[in-house]
Amino acid sequence: MMTKLKSITELAKEVLDIEANSILRLKNIISDEFTRAIDLLYSCKGRVVVTGMGKSGIIGKKIAATLSSTGTPSYFLHPAESTHGDSGAMTRDDVVIAISNSGETQELLNLLPLIKRFGIKMIGMTGNTDSTLSKASDVTIDISVEKEACPLNKAPTASTTATLAMGDAIAVCLLEKRGFSEEDFLIFHPSGALGKGFLYKVQDLMLTGAKLPITGENTAFSEVIGVITQYKLGMVMVVDENYRLTGVMTDGDIRRTLIKYKDISSLCVKEVMTADPKRISPQDYCASALNLMEKYSITALAVADDTGRPVGVIHIHDLLKAGVA
């Protein structure tokens, strides 16, 4: 009797379950060895050399790239080519991250004599903690998985996913330990929307002066409708007698007010405005402004100084024109 084949969707879901569980399993096997690895990488005076063969090598390239972009100088060294001269790039001040699921990859083991000769510290990332690689490493990070997502349990699938996730964990921990800032991130990502979000500050793109829709708390509601229409930003900033921002009135607030009140003739802004509105500092990055806009579905954001006084408005259209959004 033939076994019924799994549907494509069933098989895809099973693969994702296996790989997700492989990553979650890593949480339970994180140990002091991981902390030792972070300390070793943090104190590295040279560069981090990531090496691995085949699929592990491809994952290693990504790990090296992530490390470099987050403040840890790193590069990938192909183990097969390293024994033909490329290993000359390594120095005694470097730290090696060697990746091999089996821990017995011959091309990788061929590097060990050179690493040991120059006294280079090595972190082994392997699924076999009893392997040659593990025993030769100063620190071993366990990346073992219960099984591959491949039905034959042969093709590197869950194991490479787990390795990639562990590499990200290493990079993020180092980023945090180094106090890597938004300014630092910009240095390594000057191009594209991501970089532009940190290239521009709110004060660079915000509307100022006569372009600002501002009104007092006691202004008649009917009058504010005209102000919003005039400035075409979909909002007006509301200030108290000390010129401090206390609220905003938006197109949405107007609609809700008209639905709620039959007679608006006696209403003032303070009664129907959105109090304590979302705001941002002119010194903040446009990336932060964009984050607030996306999180709260805002198209125009009030900009206030340290005293709480409105000094500008940043609009989603201005971010789009600058290539931030």
8-59 per-position pLDDT tens digit: 999 999 999 999 999 999 998 898 999 999 999 999 999 999 999 999 999 9
Q: How far apart, in whole angstroms, are the C-alpha atoms of residue 142 and residue 159?
A: 11
**What's the whole-model pTM score?**
0.59
Of the candidate CATH numbers 3.30.565.10, 3.10.580.10, 3.40.50.2000, 3.40.50.300, the domain formed by 202-321 belongs to 3.10.580.10
Q: Is the domain defined by 9-180 classed in CATH 1.20.1260.10?
A: no
Mean pLDDT of 208-213: 91
Distances (CA, A) of 48 to 32, 59, 124, 143, 218: 20, 15, 13, 19, 63
Strands 235-239 and 245-250: antiparallel
Q: Let me know if the fold of 9-180 is the same as that of 202-321.
A: no
Q: Is pLDDT above 50 for 2?
A: no
Q: Are 228 and 235 in contact (CB under 8 A)?
A: yes
**Residue ranges of domains in the chain:** 9-180, 202-321
pLDDT for res 142: 96
Confidence tier at 157 by pLDDT (50, 70, 90): very high
Sequence-separated (6 or more) residues with CB below 8 Å from residue 121: 40, 44, 95, 96, 138, 139
Q: How far apart, in whole angstroms, are the C-alpha atoms of residue 61 and residue 80?
A: 15
Q: Please tell me what DSSP assigns to residue 246.
A: E
Confidence tier at 195 by pLDDT (50, 70, 90): low
260-293 per-position pLDDT tens digit: 998 998 999 999 999 999 999 999 988 889 889 9
Q: Are 301 and 279 in contact (CB under 8 A)?
A: yes
